[in-house]
């Protein structure tokens, strides 16, 4: 079909107008999407819903809308279903872009925490796939500690549990984000201590997080400093136990355990001198 | 003409008058604003203690002096009805501009009702300008770094607080001298027992019916908890070999369900005996008495002592026509033949932490003014004044507590408290229902423990299941917030505050979730074992 002179003139104008409107639309929608994320970050679902609805539907705004519905999922079943539907569409359209990966992760989280009888095997498989297929991705990597707790706090044979400890330990070098390195290590360390009393294997995991200053929450730091000091003492690593006790006293000078930690520190120092 | 009954006329008139009063009350602030250009700022709280109300009133007048176009109104609501009252205000859309957060208000979902002030707490408080805290971020001007005002789920700050407390015994010094011939206050539980015996002799000789402690439901709760916590120190530490410190209440109860301890354990037996002895020191009917009844008994000189928190100090000291001295609760010594063997040491108190922050309600018509008022009352100068007038320990750094406040400072020497058989509602209800067996005239720890034993398994199981459900609820609740922050971090990779917020949120979520799975696994094992037996 031959283009008429009118079409030859009109098309570039219309095209340029379309580009202008799209650019303008994108420019004006960007702050709205960001304000939607800010509102959602503060769990202000009414504002987030309004911000995400106000912009042209993009994959990002649709993810925002789905997560807003997830925030209200405990209020009505319809919110959860609509959220799930949106996430499935996002995943099926493109499972490998940022939004498809996030959709896959949140679908697994929904299955884990909202299904009456969660299919744990399927959730574990999704987490494994996310970690294997998208190493270093900020959302895919969140699956590591979640996978760890699902695998380790399950009622399985001792041999199977050993294999699971090994699997989680083998994940650690591939994790790139400090919070995921920390959380996966600590879930593993806790399970080793709670289920096996294995100080030798748990201590280096906790010590790594303490040395790298990865533990930011004071209640957590309080507990892991005590745990590290006790593990080090039991492993005969007196100088390390002393270091953890000293750090505890320095960090928590006004805690109800500080006085007793001080006494333990003196005992450790006494043993050290004696040795 | 039909006759209208007098009753109908009266009813309609009363309804009309009530309606008009309501309209007038609602419209008054609006009218004030419109006609006089004055803004009314309202704040509410449940601190009925006269010292606290007076101190807040003084700060309000100071603020009005600085801002002549502002009128500040304080609304004090009794704690018993605070949640219902506050919820009604919030739902009605006309809540006070600032509300004290706590006692179940907003069910812990603060974002529905309160404005976060997180972005403001890293900036200096302008009301500290010209003083030693000039330029110091607002958050860091608090002794606890505002930890008590942060929501662990979102890591957002929802307010600022001036309140904290420690538990102490208040003593009628004149009566102590009359009874013992000296003003020496007991420092151990054995001496406390001796004082009670001396009081009984005094009662017989003088024909009086004085009690050692003016008791109430609340004071019994804190007094018994303080003492019982000494008896479980060793047992609870044995149950926690990973850190070698006492396990927390929930794990203590879970350990019971697993058979790691039982009611024959000396720690539990002695704990019940100690509580029974303590119950005999309380005034009759303490389990039903309210705080004001106990206060009246103390103020009338019918009891020698009273157990309460530091926040109530002003009311007690000023409301008593005699000299009041303040002391720590005497605890058993390690050398005590009955109670010493279960102890590691006297209970160490933790550092002061603020509670009950004032949050800016979302429906406030003057959120900026409310924030400004909040900054004003938590400045170093205002906090010093608040502390002096309310006898509350200062929450802001750089303020030395007044000499008379020193007995309230936490004593950190000793060993942490053990658990005291209480996790949440079911066990608490059971213990409360059974506690009368510890008090006169029955006073039988054996009967108490035997009765408790019948229902304790089910109660603990229900509580632990509820805690697990609550933990999973928290995990779900924070998921979208974490997701949103991760999306924001994609475009703001250098925003250190955001990155640290994500890290803290994820750490808390993982911690809660992993612990919930671990607890669930143990509880299921308990269920399997019970079924197979």
- Taking only the tens place, the pLDDT of each residue in A242-260 is 999 999 999 998 899 999 9
Is the separation of the CB atoms in B71 and B101 below 8 Å? no
User: What is the spatial distance between Cα B303 and Cα B203, in angstroms, rounded to a whole number?
Assistant: 11
Kindly report the CA angle at A222 between A153 and B481, in degrees rounded to 5? 65
Q: Which SS3 state, helix, strand or coil, does residue B44 take?
A: strand
Is A227 in Cβ contact with B242 (below 8 Å)? yes
Is A155 in Cβ contact with B521 (below 8 Å)? yes
- In chain B, residues with a C-beta closer than 8 Å to the C-beta of A259 are 348, 412-415
Poorest-pLDDT segment among B102-111, B178-187, B237-246: B102-111
Q: What is the ipTM of this complex?
A: 0.89
Average model confidence (pLDDT) across chain A: 90
Smallest Cβ distance to B503: which of A102, A179, A223?
A179
Closest CA relative to residue A142, chosen from B509, B415, B379, B28 = B509
DSSP A96: T
Digit-coded pLDDT (tens) for A16-57: 544 444 444 444 445 589 999 999 998 888 889 999 999 889
Residue B350 near chain A (CB below 8 Å) = yes
User: What is the spatial distance between Cα B273 and Cα B445, in angstroms, rounded to a whole number?
Assistant: 6
- In chain B, residues with a C-beta closer than 8 Å to the C-beta of A139 are 483, 486
Is the separation of the CB atoms in B44 and B26 below 8 Å? no
- In chain B, residues with a C-beta closer than 8 Å to the C-beta of A37 are 484-485, 487-488
What chain A residue is nearest to B352 in terms of C-alpha separation? Answer: A254
**Pairing mode of beta strands B358-361, B114-115:** antiparallel
Is A34 in Cβ contact with B242 (below 8 Å)? no
Residue A72, token pair as written in the block: 């209200």
Smallest Cβ distance to B480: which of A60, A71, A258?
A71
What chain B residue is nearest to A202 in terms of C-alpha separation? Answer: B242
Q: Provide mean pLDDT across the span A178-203.
A: 98
Q: Looking at per-residue confidence, does B153 or B128 come out higher?
A: B128
Q: What share of chain B is helix, strand, coil (3-state, %, to 5)?
A: 55, 10, 35
Å between B475 CA and nearest CA of chain A? 9
Poorest-pLDDT segment among A245-259, B6-20, B379-393, B519-533: B6-20
Specify the DSSP element, H or E, that contains B271.
helix B266-279
Asked if the model's pLDDT at residue A273 lies above 50, the reply is yes
Is the separation of the CB atoms in B328 and B168 below 8 Å? yes
What chain B residue is nearest to A222 in terms of C-alpha separation? Answer: B243
Residues 407 through 426 of chain B touching chain A, CB cutoff 8 Å = 410, 412-417
Average model confidence (pLDDT) across chain B: 91
What chain B residue is nearest to A245 in terms of C-alpha separation? Answer: B243
User: What is the spatial distance between Cα B378 and Cα B390, in angstroms, rounded to a whole number?
Assistant: 14
**Pairing mode of beta strands B98-100, B358-361:** antiparallel
Residue B442 near chain A (CB below 8 Å) = no
Is A216 in Cβ contact with B517 (below 8 Å)? no
Closest CA relative to residue A221, chosen from A246, A247, A199, A202 = A247
- In chain A, residues with a C-beta closer than 8 Å to the C-beta of B481 are 40-43, 71
User: What is the spatial distance between Cα B334 and Cα B331, in angstroms, rounded to a whole number?
Assistant: 9
Residue B107 near chain A (CB below 8 Å) = no
User: What is the spatial distance between Cα B13 and Cα B7, in angstroms, rounded to a whole number?
Assistant: 10
Smallest Cβ distance to A68: which of B156, B480, B487?
B480
Residue B398 near chain A (CB below 8 Å) = no
Residue with tokens 């200096």: B124
Residue B339, token pair as written in the block: 């109670």
Poorest-pLDDT segment among A36-40, A196-200, B47-51, B513-517: B47-51
Q: What percent of chain B has pLDDT over 70?
A: 96
């Amino acid at each position: 079909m031959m283009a008429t002179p009118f079409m030859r003139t009109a098309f570039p104008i219309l095209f340029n107008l379309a580009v202008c409107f799209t650019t303008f639309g994108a420019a004006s929608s960007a702050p709205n999407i960001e304000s939607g994320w800010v509102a959602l970050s503060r769990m202000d679902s009414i504002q987030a819903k309004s911000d995400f609805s106000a912009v042209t539907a993009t994959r990002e705004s649709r993810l925002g809308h789905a997560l807003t519905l997830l925030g209200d999922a405990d209020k009505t079943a319809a919110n959860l279903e609509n959220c799930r539907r949106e996430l499935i569409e996002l995943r099926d359209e493109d499972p490998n872009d940022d939004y498809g990966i996030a959709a896959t992760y949140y679908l697994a989280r929904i299955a884990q925490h909202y299904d009456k009888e969660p299919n744990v095997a399927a959730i574990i498989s999704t987490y494994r796939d996310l970690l294997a297929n998208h190493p270093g991705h900020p959302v895919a990597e969140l699956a590591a500690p979640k996978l760890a707790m699902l695998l380790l706090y399950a009622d399985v044979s001792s041999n199977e549990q050993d294999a699971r400890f090994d699997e989680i330990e083998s994940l650690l070098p591939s994790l790139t984000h400090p919070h995921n390195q920390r959380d996966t290590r600590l879930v593993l360390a806790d399970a080793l201590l709670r289920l096996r009393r294995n100080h030798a294997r748990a201590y280096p995991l906790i010590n790594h997080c303490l040395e790298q200053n990865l533990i930011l929450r004071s209640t957590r730091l309080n507990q892991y400093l005590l745990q590290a000091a006790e593990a080090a003492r039991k492993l005969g690593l007196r100088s390390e136990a002393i270091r953890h006790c000293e750090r505890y006293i320095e960090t928590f000078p006004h805690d109800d355990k500080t006085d007793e930690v001080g006494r333990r520190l003196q005992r450790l120092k006494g043993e050290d001198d004696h040795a | 003409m039909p006759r209208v009954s007098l009753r109908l006329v009266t009813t309609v008139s009363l309804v009309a008058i009530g309606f008009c009063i309501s309209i007038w009350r609602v419209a008054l602030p609006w009218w004030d604003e419109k006609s006089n250009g004055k803004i009314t700022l309202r704040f509410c709280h449940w601190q009925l203690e006269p010292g606290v109300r007076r101190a807040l009133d003084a700060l309000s007048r100071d603020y009005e002096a600085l801002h002549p176009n502002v009128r500040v109104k304080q609304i004090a609501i009794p704690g018993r009805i605070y949640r219902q009252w506050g919820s009604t205000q919030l739902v009605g859309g006309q809540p006070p501009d600032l509300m004290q957060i706590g006692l179940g208000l907003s069910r812990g979902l603060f974002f529905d009702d309160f404005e976060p002030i997180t972005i403001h707490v890293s900036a200096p408080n302008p009301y500290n300008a010209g003083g030693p805290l000039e330029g110091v971020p607002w958050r860091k001007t608090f002794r606890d770094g505002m930890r008590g005002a942060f929501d662990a789920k979102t890591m957002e700050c929802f307010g600022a607080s001036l309140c904290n407390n420690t538990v102490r015994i208040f003593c009628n010094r004149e009566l102590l001298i009359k009874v013992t011939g000296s003003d020496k206050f007991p420092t151990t539980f054995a001496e406390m027992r001796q004082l009670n015996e001396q009081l009984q002799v005094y009662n017989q000789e003088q024909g009086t019916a004085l009690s050692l402690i003016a008791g109430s439901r609340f004071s019994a709760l804190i007094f018994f908890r303080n003492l019982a916590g000494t008896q479980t120190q060793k047992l609870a530490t044995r149950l926690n070999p990973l850190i070698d410190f006492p396990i927390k209440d929930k794990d203590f109860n879970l350990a019971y369900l697993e058979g790691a301890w039982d009611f024959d354990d000396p720690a539990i037996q002695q704990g019940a005996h100690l509580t029974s002895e303590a119950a005999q020191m309380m005034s009759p009917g303490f389990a039903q008495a309210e705080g004001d009844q106990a206060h009246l008994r103390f103020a009338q000189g019918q009891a020698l002592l009273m157990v309460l928190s530091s926040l109530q100090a002003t009311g007690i000291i000023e409301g008593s026509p005699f000299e009041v001295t303040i002391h720590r609760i005497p605890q058993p010594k390690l050398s005590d033949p009955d109670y010493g063997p279960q102890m590691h040491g006297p209970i160490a108190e933790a550092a002061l932490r603020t509670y009950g922050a004032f949050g800016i309600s979302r429906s406030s018509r003057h959120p900026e003014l409310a924030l400004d008022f909040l900054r004003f009352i938590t400045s170093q100068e205002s906090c010093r004044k608040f502390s002096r007038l309310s006898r509350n320990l200062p929450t802001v750094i750089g303020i030395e507590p007044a000499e008379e406040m020193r007995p309230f400072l936490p004593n950190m020497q000793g060993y942490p408290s053990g658990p005291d058989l209480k996790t949440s509602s079911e066990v608490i209800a059971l213990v409360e229902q059974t506690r009368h067996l510890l008090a006169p005239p029955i006073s039988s720890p054996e009967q108490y423990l035997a009765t408790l034993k019948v229902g304790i398994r089910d109660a603990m199981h229900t509580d632990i299941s509820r805690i697990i459900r609550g933990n999973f609820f928290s995990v779900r609740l924070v998921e979208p917030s974490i997701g949103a922050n991760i999306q924001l971090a994609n475009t703001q990779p250098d925003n250190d505050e955001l990155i640290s917020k994500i890290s803290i949120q994820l750490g808390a979520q993982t911690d809660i979730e992993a612990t919930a799975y671990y607890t669930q696994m143990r509880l299921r094992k308990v269920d399997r074992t019970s079924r197979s037996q």
